[in-house]
Chain A
Amino acid sequence: MGKIFELIDISATYGEGIILKDVNLTINSNDFIGIIGPNGGGKTTLVKLMVGLLKPVKGRIIMHKASGRDTKNQIGYLPQISLFDKRFPISVIDVVLSGLASEKAVFKKYTKADKDKAIELLARMGISDLYSRPIGELSGGQMQRVFLCRAIITSPSLLILDEPNTFVDSKFEADLYDILLELNKTMAIIVVTHDIGTISYYVKTIACVNKYLNYHPSNIITEKQLAAYGCPIQIITHGDIPHTVLKKHDH
C-alpha cells in the first residue's frame, strides 16, 4: 500500500466559469473511492483531469511510478458509453486490444499472448463468445463489459469508471461490482456516479464533488453530512433506513 496518484491544489475552468477549486485527493494502491456529486458539480471534469484529457489551470497532478509497471498507461479508463459511434467497423476483440495500441512499437503486431489475454478478460466478463462480433451488435451492458476489458488489459494501477451504471442492466450491475471487488485486489478503483445507492455497498470511501472536493473516509454518509459538504444530491434510500444514504451509523 502506497500513494499512487495525487491531485494537489487543483483548479479547473470551463469557459469563464470555475468548475473545480483547490481540489486535493490522494489515491493509495488499494483504494476504492466513490465520487458523487450533483450534475454540473465537476465530476466529469475531475475524471478528465485524472486521465489527462484536460489540463488544470492551477495545481499539480502526480502519478507515482508503481514498481514493475510501465508508467505510460497506469490508468485504465471506462468513459461514458454514450459517446461512441456504435456503427464503427471494429470487432469486439480489436476494441479490447486497442487498449494496448499505444504500448506497441510501430512494426509489432499484436502477439498471440495479447490476444489470449483479451479473450481471457472477455471470458471473465462472460462474453468471450462474442469476440469476433462487430461492436455495434452488442447490447449496452455487453459493450460496457468490452470497454472494461479495454481499460484493464494494460493491468493499470488505477481504474477510473465514469458513470458505469448508465446503460447497464440491473443483472450486470451486481456482476460489475463483484468484478470490481476482484479487480480491487490488484488496482485502485474510482467510480464516478450519481447513483449513490448501490455503489456505496462496495466502495471503501466517498468523495463528494461540488466545485470543492470533500473526502469522506468511510462508505457511510448521511444526508446531514452531505449538506455540510455543500453537496446537494438526490438521496436514494434503501429499505428501512429512510434518512441515511447507506447503512446506519453504528456509533
Chain B
Amino acid sequence: MAEFIELISYSFFSKALLAALLASISCGIAGTYIVARRKVFIAGGITHASFGGIGMGYFFGINPMFGGAAFGLLSALGIEFISKKTEIREDSAIGIIWSFGMALGIIFIFLTPGYAPNLMTYLFGNILTVSNTDINFMIILCSLLILFFILFYRIILFISFDEEYAQSHKLPVNTFNYILIALVALVIVLNIRVIGIILVISYLTIPQSAANLLTRNFKHIIIYSVIFGVLGSITGLYISYIADLPSGAIIIFVFVVLYLAIWLLKYFHQKHRIQRQLK
C-alpha cells in the first residue's frame, strides 16, 4: 500500500489515474447507451474506422487524434445514415466502414516516410503517456456527456427503448440518434490514447455487462459501470506496474475477472434463495 501511495506521488502516475477516472466516466455513460441499444458492433466499426484518420494525421503531419476524431465522427454519422436511408443493411455497412478505415490507415502509414513511432500507442493505448491536452479534452467531453444525459435523460431513455413510439409522439428521434452516436464516437476516439483501438471496446461493454447483472435500471447501470471502470482501472494499473505488464491488457483482464466474480456471486445468491424458498 505504501508503495502504491508513493506511486501516486509521481506526476505521470497521478495523470494516469485521472485518465482512468475520465475514461471510466465517459465510457460508463456512452457504453450503457450502446449496450442497451445493442450498438456494440457500431462502436467497434467507429473505433477501427478512426484508424484511417490517425494514419492520415501521420501522413500530413497533423495531430493524429484530430484525424481520428474526424474519421470517427464521419463513420458514426455515416453508419447511422446508411442504415436508415439506404438499402444497405446496418451490419454490412459497419463491416464496410470498419475495414475501409483500417485500410486507409495502413495505406497512409505505409506512405509516410520514416518510422511511425507512436503507432503502437494508438493500437494498444498507453495510459502512462497521456498528455495534458488529452486530459483537457476528456474533461470537456465528460462534462458535455454528463450535462446532455442529465438534461435529456427521459427522452434518451424513451427513444432508446422504443424509437417508433417516440416518433409517434413527434420527438426529434433522428436528431437525437445522430447526436448520441456522435458523442459515442468522440468518447471512443479520446479514449484510444488511453486504452487503444484494439481494446477500447472493453471499457464500453465489460463494466456495463457486469452492472447489468446487478440491476436492470438504465441509470443504475451507468453509475455501477463508472464504479467498476474505476475499480478495474486502478487495480489493473497497479498490477501492471508491479508485474511489469502492458496496462491496457491487464485492465481488461481485471474487468473480466470482476465480471466473472459478480456472475458467480449472483449465481450462488440466487441458488441459495431458491433453496430457502423450497424449504
Contact = CB atoms under 8 A, between A and B. Distances in A.
A79 B165 contact: yes
Interface in B120-142: none
Interface string A97-127: 0110110101100100000000000000000
Given A89-B36, A89-B217, A106-B151, A52 B157 contact: no
A51 B154 CA distance: 21
A218 to B, nearest CB: 30
Interface string A122-143: 0000000000001010000000
A101 B155 contact: yes
B212 interface: yes
Interface residues of B, number: 25
A85 interface: yes
Interface stretch (B7-15, B20-28, B56-64, B168-176): B168-176
Nearest to B160: A88
Interface stretch (A69-77, A164-172, A238-246): A69-77
B166 A102 contact: yes
Given A89-B221, A98-B157, A72 B216 contact: no
A90 B168 contact: no
A98 B217 contact: no
B150 to A, nearest CB: 9
A35 interface: no
B154 A98 contact: yes
Contacts of B169: 72-73, 99, 101-102
Contact of B36 (A88, A91, A99): A88
Interface string A50-70: 011100000000000000000
Given A52-B168, A72-B170, A83-B164, A101 B158 contact: yes
Contact of A91 (B151, B168, B171, B217): B217
A51 B162 CA distance: 14
Contacts of A98: 154, 157-158, 161-162, 165-166
Nearest to B218: A89
A163 interface: no
Q: Is the interface of B mostly helix, strand, loop or mixed?
A: helix
Contacts of A88: 36, 160-161
- Contact size range, A: 20 to 34
A88 B218 CA distance: 8
A134 B161 CA distance: 12
A36 interface: no
A84 interface: yes
Contacts of A134: 216-217
30 contacts: A51-B168, A53-B167, A53-B168, A72-B169, A73-B169, A75-B168, A77-B165, A77-B168, A79-B165, A84-B162, A88-B160, A88-B161, A89-B36, A89-B212, A89-B217, A89-B221, A90-B218, A91-B216, A91-B217, A95-B161, A98-B157, A101-B155, A101-B171, A102-B158, A102-B169, A106-B151, A107-B151, A134-B216, A134-B217, A136-B216
Interface of B: 36, 38, 151-152, 154-155, 157-158, 160-162, 164-171, 212, 215-218, 221
Interface of A: 51-53, 72-73, 75, 77, 79, 83-85, 88-91, 94-95, 98-99, 101-102, 104, 106-107, 110, 134, 136, 150
Given A85-B161, A98-B158, 16 more contacts: A51-B168, A73-B169, A77-B165, A77-B168, A79-B165, A84-B161, A88-B160, A88-B161, A90-B216, A94-B157, A99-B169, A101-B154, A102-B166, A102-B171, A107-B151, A134-B217
